[in-house]
Structure 1
Amino acid sequence: MAISLAYLGPQGTNTETAALAYARILADTTDEKIILHPCSSIAQTIQSVATKEANLAVAPVENSTEGSVTITLDTLWQLEQLKIQQELVLPIPHVFLSRGTSLQGIDTVYSHPQALAQCQRWLTHSLPKVKLIPTNSTTEALSLINQDPTSAAIASPRAAKLYDLPVLATNINDYPDNCTRFWVVGLNPNTVGNKITLGFSVPANVPGALVKPLQIFASKEINLSRIESRPTRRSLGEYLFFIDLEVENNHLTEEALTELATHTEILRVFGQYSVTPLSNSILSEL
């Protein structure tokens, strides 16, 4: 038997780095072989678990600079059978790659939209007139610049080594502590950890519709570390709400979720899980 672990490919993406690190964590708990399964989009990565093409998937959910990766939230809501197994926190450094010899000769920059946004201030300052073209992943961009010295890409230092591309600039992300949260999702529910993610819709768009659910957590002194709204796509002005809550008392948390069900239209608990920061020492071994 083997465990198939899906991630946004191709080789060299930040998601692959997170997947490789998680594969090492898995290797300490199982004797089964772990096979990485690259996918061409974040949605396909998550869907591959629902269709049983993969056992687990690693998908980005939030960046410290640019906020939520909304396609992950939307896809998880649509595929209610999926559960969060664990959260990984990965430092995200960006470098500027090109076959050109200087920044002055660059007129086009390719990368994933998140990477472009995370380096927006550097791009505006260093290359104010450059054309920015989004790609499905940071490493997909690398194939587009290999034969064109007037183009460049933003990717990880690891990708630069893997694809043997010259680095024209390092540490170009706008904030030095740039990091991304990744969720590991699977079909089996997890009930251990100090964090729960849930999503819900409210019965009607009326005053107090959101306050009542939030008051439940406040009354039980349960801390909410994150709240995010997404459109229901049924009509303008209707929203779904995603919440991360910290678990300190399982009994109080269970009471809160039971009470929450009486104030929501649809309630989905995506999983209880632990958070694992990925240290630079682990990443340097990948």
Structure 2
Amino acid sequence: MNLSIAHLGPPGNYSEQAALFYMDWLAKTTVENVILCPYPSIAQSIKAVAEGQAKLAVVPAENSIEGSVTMTMDAMWQLDNLQISLALVMPIIHVLISCATSLENIQTVYSHPQALAQCQRWLERFLPNVQTVATNSTTEALQSLEADLSAAAISSQRAAKLYHLPILARDINDSPENCTRFWVVSQNSNVESFLTSPTNASHTSLAFSVPANLPGVLAKTLQVFANLGINLSRIESRPTKRSLGEYLFFIDIEANIHQPLMQSALQELLNYTEILKIFGSYNVLPTDAI
């Protein structure tokens, strides 16, 4: 059976690496042929699944240094009929790639906004006067480095090998424990035979908006889980994009949606929310376990 997986391109970035890890995990199943499909943005990768252009997408959801990837959160909220089937946790080790002979010659550093932010302290220490330019991915600027000896890009060691480019500095992320959680996103349950059974899942993700910006409205929703002894591992607000001061909330829960307590919590949650989107239950798999 064929399986197409959308991810952020161009080749060599961390999203593709996570997709390759996922392919290795799928190799233990009955999937006969997996096709990687790079897209220009994270949102387009997720949209490809929503529109049936790809069966799955592997997209970054949260980084241990910089927090949630807002483009992923917004796309999951805006698009319908999507579910999280699995989470992959992958170590992220940034390197500085450049054809310059030394750091003193670098005037511009390119990379994805998340990567630039994850290396902010290193940049301030070793390249305090450079201009940083955000790109759609950590590999977008690599093909132009040979033509500009004053430019550099923050990317991965694997990308440097793929594009045959020299590494000027290694391990430049601000924390040695830097890692990113990727979500495997599918459209519906048709691909469940390839994935971890939801009845054994350890986490549930959902998002909701509230009817009005009133005192205690968020506290009431959170109290639902507290009263039932259900632990939340993440909560984050994002603007609704309707009006200034209006927010929706993303929550990760350490429980399976099929558990009776979770069913009770979700039923009660409907009393306090305007829109409730349940992204599903899934397991979290470290990439070193694949």
- Taking structure 2 as the reference length, the TM-score comes to 0.94
2:52 alignment partner AA: K
Structure 1: runs of 5+ lacking an equivalent:
none
Deviations 1:232-274 (A, max 9, x none): 1111111100000011681111111111111111111001000
Report the alpha carbon displacement of residue 33 of structure 1 after superposing the two structures with TM: 0.7
Tell me what 1:214 maps to. Answer: 222
Report the alpha carbon displacement of residue 124 of structure 1 after superposing the two structures with TM: 0.5
Tell me what 1:50 maps to. Answer: 50
1:95 alignment partner AA: V
Query: What is the rounded CA distance, in whole Å, between the counterparts of 2:212 and 2:244 in structure 1?
Result: 13
- Further displaced range: 269-278 or 145-154: 145-154
Deviations 1:172-208 (A, max 9, x none): 0000000001000001246330100000011111111
Tell me what 2:13 maps to. Answer: 13
Tell me what 2:275 maps to. Answer: 266
Stretches of 4+ aligned residues off by more than 2 angstroms: 189-192
Tell me what 1:197 maps to. Answer: 205
Query: What is the rounded CA distance, in whole Å, between the counterparts of 1:227 and 1:247 in structure 2?
Result: 15
Deviations 1:139-167 (A, max 9, x none): 11101212111111110011011111111
1:19 alignment partner AA: A
1:113 alignment partner AA: P
Matching of residue 239 in structure 1 with residue 269 in structure 2: no
Q: Secondary structure at the match of 2:217?
A: coil
Q: Secondary structure at the match of 2:147?
A: coil
Deviations 1:50-83 (A, max 9, x none): 1111000001011000111001010000112111
Q: Secondary structure at the match of 1:85?
A: strand
Matching of residue 254 in structure 1 with residue 272 in structure 2: no
Tell me what 1:30 maps to. Answer: 30
Q: In the TM superposition, what are the counterparts of 1:270-281 in structure 2 within 5 Å?
A: 270-279=279-288
Contact 2:143 2:163 in 1 (8 A): no
Deviations 1:19-68 (A, max 9, x none): 00001111211233100001010000000001111000001011000111
Q: Secondary structure at the match of 1:210?
A: helix
Query: What is the rounded CA distance, in whole Å, between the counterparts of 1:25 and 1:247 in structure 2?
Result: 23
Percent identity of paired positions between Structure 1 and Structure 2: 59
1:205 alignment partner AA: N
Contact 1:27 1:34 in 2 (8 A): no
- The alignment covers a number of residue pairs equal to 281
Q: Secondary structure at the match of 1:263?
A: coil
Structure 2: runs of 5+ lacking an equivalent:
193-197
Q: Secondary structure at the match of 1:48?
A: helix
Contact 2:3 2:31 in 1 (8 A): no
Contact 1:116 1:154 in 2 (8 A): yes
Query: What is the rounded CA distance, in whole Å, between the counterparts of 2:203 and 2:83 in structure 1?
Result: 13
Query: What is the rounded CA distance, in whole Å, between the counterparts of 1:263 and 1:112 in structure 2?
Result: 37
Contact 1:57 1:185 in 2 (8 A): yes
Query: What is the rounded CA distance, in whole Å, between the counterparts of 2:259 and 2:78 in structure 1?
Result: 27
Query: What is the rounded CA distance, in whole Å, between the counterparts of 1:81 and 1:127 in structure 2?
Result: 45
Matching of residue 66 in structure 1 with residue 52 in structure 2: no
Matching of residue 98 in structure 1 with residue 106 in structure 2: no
Deviations 1:59-114 (A, max 9, x none): 10110001110010100001121110000001000001111111011111111111
